[in-house]
Amino acid sequence: MVDNFIEIKDLADPDKVDDLIKRFTAMYDIANGTGTTSTALSILTGSASISADTLLAMAQLKTG
C-alpha cells in the first residue's frame, strides 16, 4: 500500500524526507489553521500527538 503513495527507496534520501516533512506540515497547517505555536514545531518536539487521520494524510503524500 505504501508503494502507491511514495517510493520506499526515497526514505533513505535525507533531502527527500525533509521535503516530505515540509510538505506534510505545510498542508497540515493549511488544513487545520495555525495557532500561536507552530504545529510542525509541536510535532518535532513531542508536545503534540499525531492522530490516525494525520498519519493517513501523511502516508498519502507523494513527493514529485
Model confidence pLDDT, tens digit, residues 16-59:
888 888 888 888 888 887 555 566 666 666 655 667 788 788 77
> Once rounded to an integer, what is the mean pLDDT over residues 7-24?
87
Q: Which of 46, 12, 48 is nearest to 28 (CA)?
A: 48
Q: What is the pLDDT of residue 44?
A: 65
The pLDDT, as a whole number, for residue 59 is: 79
Cell of 7: 517510493
How far is it, in rounded angstroms, from Cα 44 to Cα 6? Answer: 21
Q: Say which residue, 1 or 44, is predicted with more confidence.
A: 1
Q: What is the pLDDT of residue 7?
A: 84
pLDDT of amino acid 21: 87
